[in-house]
Amino acid sequence: MKKLEGAGLRGQSAGQTSLSTVEQEGSLRYLGYSIEDLAENASFEEVAYLLLLGKLPKSSELDEFEEELSSQRKMPDSLVNVIESIPSSAHPMEVFRTIISYMGVIEPEKTFEDQLKVAKRLLGVTTTGIVYWYNFSHHGVRINQDSNERSLAGHFLKLLRQEDIPELDKKTLDVSLTLYAEHEFNASTFTGRVCASTLSDLHSCLTAAVGSLRGPLHGGANEEAMKMLQQINSVDEVKSFVDQKFENKEKIMGFGHAVYSIKDPRSNIIKKFSEKLSLNHDHKLLHDAAVEMEAYMWEKKKLFPNTDFFMAPAYHYIGIPTDLFTPLFAIARIVGWSAHAFEQRSNNRIIRPSAEYIGPEDRNWIDIDSR
């Protein structure tokens, strides 16, 4: 395998994990299971069970797990008050971060034996909380927190859209959560593991991870891809649009990857859902333009789309506002972040790397009057 080198710790092993493997050639596996198999056969809840508990659940175990997750969705009244005080101008990831941090105050992780319970609680309450905030801050509506939906994907969409949700829409979101659930030592996961290595509580680990995901170079790519695609008025404009971007030295969002060198295995999975959804949508152009851009970017620069690129039209087609794209990424990644925190704290040594000093050589002190 070609060694990765360069800035940003490229190619340097920063620890061990049994949770996932990301291969340059375009392979992603969770505990040995390929992302293709999981997306095809597993629900997000099954994937969450796999990552948090280290095995695929039996039918009775999955039923119990789903029931437990469903029971964790209702927010404490004090959290509702906090959320209602946050204005619509706030970035949704700031709201997401606040929910986790506040839960650490009112429902703290008292011992590490509580970690699984805390992870389930945060998975449920962040899903409800971010949709509640969006509806209240943008539309002045206090939504019912109970959706009567079994799956997390169905719950999110039902609260957001306040209507019965087509199965294809639920399946699309469910698969997307599986694709986003875990991805080895990415920036936010590594941030969370550094925090976990101090033996801090799970709320702190996840708050740190959310802060890292908040950055536009990590979690915001799907939002930026959506904004970019919305600027294109016809498929015929795609090539000139891309050429102009390159001429202006602007980044084309949703292409390339820090690890994958040939393809992102998640991209084709969500692309198929985007295509299916586009066939019955007024704005089919979004998907068609994305397909044309994918082909032209490969022809021109040998760049491939990452998972965020086709996630943008897919999310748009199922009625998700662009501002909520990154919080959905975060909801799914709560599973991966939590699993990494569990793993780090179970066999821990504090993460404390060294730095290569590039400052000036030894210098003599200069008195302030002589400077």
Active site residue 218: yes
Contact 104, 206 (CB under 8 A): no
Contact 193, 20 (CB under 8 A): no
Q: Is the pLDDT of residue 8 over 80?
A: no
191-215 average pLDDT score: 96
Q: Determine the pLDDT at residue 256.
A: 76
Q: At 260, is the pLDDT very low, low, confident or very high (cuts 50, 70, 90)?
A: confident
Contact 314, 291 (CB under 8 A): no
19-47 average pLDDT score: 93
Active site residue 308: yes
Q: At 10, is the pLDDT very low, low, confident or very high (cuts 50, 70, 90)?
A: low
Does the domain at 43-166+183-216+322-346 match CATH 1.10.580.10? Answer given as yes
268-274 average pLDDT score: 96
Q: Determine the pLDDT at residue 218.
A: 79
Per-residue exposure over 244-255, b if at least 16 CB sit within 10 Å of its own CB, e if not? eeeeeeeebbbb
Q: What is the pLDDT of residues 89-130, one digit of tens each?
A: 999 999 999 999 999 999 999 999 999 999 999 999 999 999
Q: Is the pLDDT of residue 319 over 90?
A: yes
Q: Is the pLDDT of residue 14 over 80?
A: no
CA–CA separation, 315 and 292 (whole Å): 19
Q: Which residues contact 5 (CB under 8 A, 6 or more apart)?
A: 11
157-172 average pLDDT score: 97
Q: Determine the pLDDT at residue 11.
A: 62
Contact 19, 51 (CB under 8 A): yes
DSSP 289: H
Which of 183, 287, 308, 340 is catalytic? The answer is 308
Beta strands in the chain (DSSP E): 20-23, 27-30, 33-34
Phi then psi for residue 251, to 5 deg, are -80, 140
CA–CA separation, 303 and 313 (whole Å): 19
Contact 329, 93 (CB under 8 A): no
For residue 159, the one-letter residue type is L
Contact 326, 312 (CB under 8 A): no
Q: Is the pLDDT of residue 1 over 60?
A: no
Sequence ranges of the domains in the chain? 43-166+183-216+322-346
Which of 114, 218, 281, 283 is catalytic? The answer is 218
Q: Determine the pLDDT at residue 182.
A: 96
CA–CA separation, 26 and 35 (whole Å): 11
Q: At 12, is the pLDDT very low, low, confident or very high (cuts 50, 70, 90)?
A: low
Q: What is the pLDDT of residues 293-306, one digit of tens each?
A: 999 999 999 999 98
> How many residues would you count in the chain?
371
Structure tokens that stand for 148 in this block: 């009567």
HEC assignment per residue over 154-216: HHHHHHHHCCCCCHHHHHHHHHHHHHHCCCCCCHHHHHHHHHHCCCCCHHHHHHHHHHHHCCC
CA–CA separation, 176 and 153 (whole Å): 9
CA–CA separation, 159 and 170 (whole Å): 12
CA–CA separation, 294 and 245 (whole Å): 15
Q: Is the pLDDT of residue 318 over 90?
A: yes
Which of 257, 287, 316, 340 is catalytic? The answer is 257
Q: What is the pLDDT of residues 210-241, one digit of tens each?
A: 999 988 777 788 898 999 999 999 999 999 99
Q: Determine the pLDDT at residue 215.
A: 82
Active site residue 283: no
Q: Determine the pLDDT at residue 6.
A: 58
> Beta partners for 33?
30
